[in-house]
Amino acid sequence: MKILEARGITKSYGHGPSRFDALKGVSLTINEAESLAIVGKSGSGKSTLMHLLALLDTIDGGTLRVGNIDSADIKGKDLNRMRNRDFGFVFQQFFLTPNASVLDNVVLPLVIAGVPPGERKKRGMAALEQLELADKAKNKATDLSGGQKQRAAIARALVNDPKVIFADEPTGNLDTATGAVVEDILFRLNKERGITLIIVTHDRDLASRCDRQFHVRDGLHSTADDLAARA
Amino acid sequence: MKFTDILTSAISNTFRSKLRTTLTIVAVFIGAFTLTLTSAVGTGVSRYINTQVAAMGATDVIIVSKADDAGAEGPAKYDPAAAKASSSMAGPPGSSMGMLAHSDLDEIAATSGVLHVEPVVLVAPDYIEFADQGKYELALNPNLGITQVDLAGGAQLDNPGNEPQILLPSTYLETLGMGSPDDIVGSTVGIGVTSHAGAQSSIQATVVGVQHETLLSGGSGINQNLTDKIKAIQDTGKPSNAVEGFIVATAYFDEALGTEHAQGIKDSLAAQGYTGQTIQDQLGTFQSVINGIVGVLNAFAVIALIAAGFGIINTLLMSVQERTREIGLMKAMGMGGGKVYALFSLEAIFIGFLGSAIGALAAIGLGSLLSNVLADTVLSDLPGLHIMQFDPGSVALIIAVVMLIAFLAGTLPARRAARQNPIDALRYE
Ligand SMILES: Nc1ncnc2c1ncn2[C@@H]1O[C@H](COP(=O)(O)OP(=O)(O)OP(=O)(O)O)[C@@H](O)[C@H]1O
Ligand SMILES: [Mg+2]
């Protein structure tokens, strides 16, 4: 069952002479419950591709379908509902609000969704429980270690029961051991709950744990043959 | 996102940068504080004047004088038949004041709507004396003959009356050694008058009442009977060819016919070269001076508020800048632009509310204290005058206006936040 389908999508930044084509026509299909690694060199367009797939940015050319719907038709309230309900995000820099408590950070998507406070707390605590952070619920986000911060960010990503989790270098700021813990958590979610996982990474080991790898080079999809040819 | 959630997060965001928020609130505070105080002065004074007007009664008279020719260029041609001021009373500096002759009185009486006319006779007694307390200067207020006064004791003057009566201001009592208002009512005082020929004599008059000192009418009042008696003595030995004149006359009209009727009479009088003013008009002049002063003070307060508005813009722009990533994250998680806009607008409104509510409360506290102290000291001669009065309606209006200004100031930063692209925000370092 296809969940995301990109056909020849392009994206450029800037205008005139400073115009830069970050994606030059990429096609990609992602199925439900699979795990996909987007790999490639720095500046190749991985994050750009992920942002487009997550509907955080709009494509310049090509087509992108989410389920059966053309992304051009997803606007306003529908777009916001999709970002809120169907997608979860994990970033390299965690992006937690420093002065708010861990629990407040985790329930942010529920607040945005308009879930009443009692249920928010219940679901937030349940998510923290899964990531073994329940005892830190009342602490400020700044008080956590790097690994704990990323676990809090994952709790936030899954609190609203998303279909897809997008993770941009989720272990980039963590040491190997802590990174491995975070990876385990993500793959467990993928196996046990069938959440589709789209991970942008430089890390070969992490990439090889995914069902599939998608290589990006200079804004284009490069096949394993290309890589072999270059090797 | 529910409204209550937006509101609570707006409020808690306000306190994130405490120093910056506090300074902005101080700016709003100053404007709201000043505005509350000045509007309280306006309310206090106009309430006082309204009670004075109500107490004065005399709603059926128009005070008529010759229209002054201040606007005319150069002096008017001499007319031996025109009346001349026989007293030393002069008009406002720079203007000459015409006198009303008997012919003028007839003309005024003939004006349609005027029931009858009484000249206000100005008499100048020399002194007042009570028991053996010595002689004191006696200042008369000709208006008191026609108005109801704010009594501290006794009764109003009986006009024209068949015995000489005097109404004293409360300030006279102590100097004249008279005790309390109730003690003095009914006793007799002596009034010294000098004739035209130069001989001084004394008239007995009964004290009928004591009035509170007011902003509008100083001096003692005497009834028609006493006025006539004093005038008779003053005119003794006066050459018979002297032209008699009056500075003002009182025209009576039928009050039941309404204010338009009164206005019609005033217009007809103006067409004939006279100036007609009701008691309310005279007080109105006074009130418009006060309103003018209050207006200027209000303008300063509004300028302070506008400056505070720029403070709010600045504070919020900085806060939008600082929270770029947070805004981007919220948008990535499906928060709509409208909600982001509401979040920052509410933050601005809340700053406005805090500043104005604290400012208004401080103004009410300090103003009431000051007003009471003033009423007991500097203004103790004007009982009933509380220089500052806080009307809940106008205080609420001030808070509402400040919140509106804050909202308007918040629109620019809030729009900037609402339009932010989640990607730019997430890439922002
Ligand atoms: N807002 C922008 N304006 C101009 N150029 C941009 C913008 N965002 C990205 N780019 C450019 O697009 C290209 C792709 O960027 P992208 O962030 O997708 O790279 P990446 O593959 O994720 O790299 P990294 O591994 O270093 O994160 C880069 O060359 C980058 O400089
Ligand atoms: Mg990247």
Q: Encode pLDDT of B333-382 as tens digits.
A: 999 889 999 998 998 899 999 999 999 999 999 999 988 888 888 777 77
pLDDT of residue B90: 42
Region A10-36: mean pLDDT is: 90
Region B406-412: mean pLDDT is: 89
Q: What is the pLDDT of residues B99-123, one digit of tens each?
A: 888 888 888 888 888 888 888 877 8
Could you give the domains of chain A?
A: 2-230 (3.40.50.300)
- Range among A4-8, A130-134, A223-227, B288-292 rated most confident: A4-8
DSSP per position, A81-104: HHHHHTEEEEETT----TTSBHHH
Region A110-116: mean pLDDT is: 91
Q: What is the pLDDT of residues B221-269, one digit of tens each?
A: 888 888 888 888 888 877 776 667 788 888 888 878 877 888 888 888 8
Hey, are the CB atoms on A56 and B2 less than 8 Å from each other?
no
Nearest to B83 by CA among B99, B72, B104: B99
- Residues contacting ligand 1 via CB (< 6 Å): A 13-14, 20, 22, 40, 42-48
Q: What share of chain B is helix, strand, coil (3-state, %, to 5)?
A: 55, 15, 30
pLDDT over threshold 50, residue B183 = yes
pLDDT of residue B86: 40
Of B5, B329, B421, the CB nearest to A95: B329
pLDDT of residue B97: 56
pLDDT of residue A111: 92
- By mean pLDDT, which of A111-115, B144-148, B151-155 is the weakest? B144-148
Of B9, B326, B332, the CB nearest to A83: B332
pLDDT over threshold 70, residue B79 = no
Cis peptide before A109 (omega within 30 of 0): no
The Cα B380–Cα B366 span in angstroms is 19
Check residues A231 and B25 and name the one with the higher pLDDT.
Answer: B25
Percent of chain B, pLDDT > 70? Answer: 88
Q: What is the DSSP letter of B67?
A: P
> Global pTM?
0.72
Q: What is the pLDDT of residues B390-400, one digit of tens each?
A: 889 989 998 99
CA terminus-to-terminus distance, chain B: 27
Residue B60: its H or E element: none
- Ligand 1: residue whose CA is nearest its atom 2: A13
pLDDT over threshold 70, residue B92 = no
- By mean pLDDT, which of A52-66, A214-228, B17-31, B70-84 is the weakest? B70-84
Confidence of residue B74 (pLDDT cuts 50, 70, 90): low
Write out the residues surrounding ion ligand 2, Cβ under 5 A: A 47
Enter the ipTM: 0.89
Beta bridge partners of B249: B64, B119
The Cα B417–Cα A190 span in angstroms is 35
**CA count, 13 A, side-chain hemisphere, B160:** 10
- Range among B73-82, B189-198, B288-297 rated most confident: B189-198
pLDDT of residue A107: 93
pLDDT over threshold 90, residue B24 = no
Q: Residue A178: helix, strand or coil by DSSP?
A: helix
Interface list for chain B against chain A, based on CB atoms closer than 8 Å: 1-2, 5, 9, 16, 325-326, 329-336, 339, 421-423, 426
pLDDT over threshold 50, residue A33 = yes
The Cα B22–Cα B32 span in angstroms is 15
Region A6-27: mean pLDDT is: 89
- Ligand 1: residue whose CA is nearest its atom 4: A13
B331 with B5: CB under 8 angstroms? no
Percent of chain B, pLDDT > 90? Answer: 9
pLDDT over threshold 80, residue A139 = yes
Q: Residue A200: helix, strand or coil by DSSP?
A: strand
pLDDT over threshold 90, residue A130 = no
Nearest to B286 by CA among B277, B274, B275, B273: B277
Interface-testing mutation among B3, B333, B341, B343, with chain A (most A C-beta atoms within 10 A)? B333
Ligand that comes closest to the CA of residue A43: 1
pLDDT of residue B131: 80
Confidence of residue B429 (pLDDT cuts 50, 70, 90): low
Provide the token pair at A143: 């008080």
B326 with A141: CB under 8 angstroms? no
